[in-house]
A and B are shown apart, each in its own frame.
Chain A
Amino acid sequence: MRNHLRGALLSAMIAVLCTAFLGAGARQPGAPGAQPSSNAQSPAGGRGRGPAGPSQPTPRLPDGTPNLGRVPGEMGVWNVPYITNMGERVIEEDGKTYAEKHPPTFGRGRGAPVAGRGDAPLGGGEGTTGGSGRGGAKSEPQVPFQPWAAAVYNYNSSNNSKYDPEGYCLPPGGPRLMATPYPMEIIQLPEQKRIIMVFEGATHIWREIYMDGRPHPQGDDLNPTYLGHSVGRWEGDTLVVDVVGFNEQTWMDYYGHPHTDMLHIVEKFSRPTKNTLAYEATFDDPGAYTKPFTVRWNINWNSTGQLTEYICQENNKYLQRLTDDFGQPIFGKKQ
């Protein structure tokens, strides 16, 4: 019994690791130890990837469009990789992202440190490819910051993302929804001409993508929101989603890349094999960046997974302890 549990725990944890770090550019569906025993599925669905094997083709709906969600009769969720620094996922001039060029090694302190962006050896850091240090704007030449945006990013780097709105249990918008530590599902409703995306994380939220050809609201009719206004269409086998109308209450990522309400995002979702969601997003924010840039990563299908509840707001003690730069409590009586 103990042996079984250990084996299952190891498999599950290696699967989690592979998901978290190999999400970008992962080509082979099999990974060492990613074959969970039948006891590896907890009631919550675990984070196992199901049996690895030859890649299966894109599942399709009856009308032929790609099915980005569950196949009827099966379970499954998308194991969103935890990505904290969008800067590492920017497609650079050579057509690759930093993360694709520097897949993380496991473990810490093994071998000589590699000088990456930032300044720490690979293998550490919350959800990054490597480096616990934050090098700030000058360590990310691939991100076209405007000077004020670089200054804000440096400030967020210097205090370890102390004021991240997600720490306040506020939802992120944009690609950060696809970069949380928790899984998500895509539910297509072609008869209703819309797609619903449901997120366990990002404060347990959903988003609605209109597929009926409607335009974005204009002027004052476009009320800025956390998730923006999303309209989508199919281009071949790729779902293209156009989003505007973001408010300025969110960070693009945990590291604190800022954005303005001029942000316009174009996302591309495709499912080249059953087990892979290829995700790409172009950020076009002339208020904060000097030109558009595109991020990309792959997301793995967890064929036995289910979403569980996550109500961030219920006991957020961090907020009770949070002080501003002058030592005054953010919430509660000032001294």
Chain B
Amino acid sequence: MQKHTISLLVDNEPGVLSRVSGLFSGRGFNIESLCVAETSDPAISRMTLVTRGDDAIAEQIKKQLNKLINVIKVHDLTGTEYVEREMALIKVQAKADYRAEILRIVDIFRCNVVDVSPAHYTIEVTGTADKLGAILGLLKPMGIKEIARTGAIALGREKKDKAGATS
């Protein structure tokens, strides 16, 4: 069951999200995450969707998405060069013993502390799903109180130069 990151351009209209999510629930495909926002053209939104399935299922998912009238473009980024990022806000307990340790982790992962209280830090972290997994693993022993994740967003990479050298 391979992970597929699919980038969609869709009409920015009411009901389009439910057409896409309804397709997944109606046909028994799973969604790991789904992210939607307007593009530079206000008539068009981009959805980034992470799903799992074997080749045949991934193929059906792409064909079915393409069949939706409001879907303009379907691009499966999996197997191509692309950049993927996710953001999380993590509210972690910050007792006196751990406060310094948490800040060291924040520093190593290049995150920001965006809210501080006597007993908690709220940390903003951006990166791949692996990076988020790693920091969550390290913070877990301190006691994570709440977490909010955006789900992945992704874009294909452009070719670097004519020779294709990326150094």
- B is bound to A: no
B residues whose Cβ falls under 8 Å from a Cβ of A: none
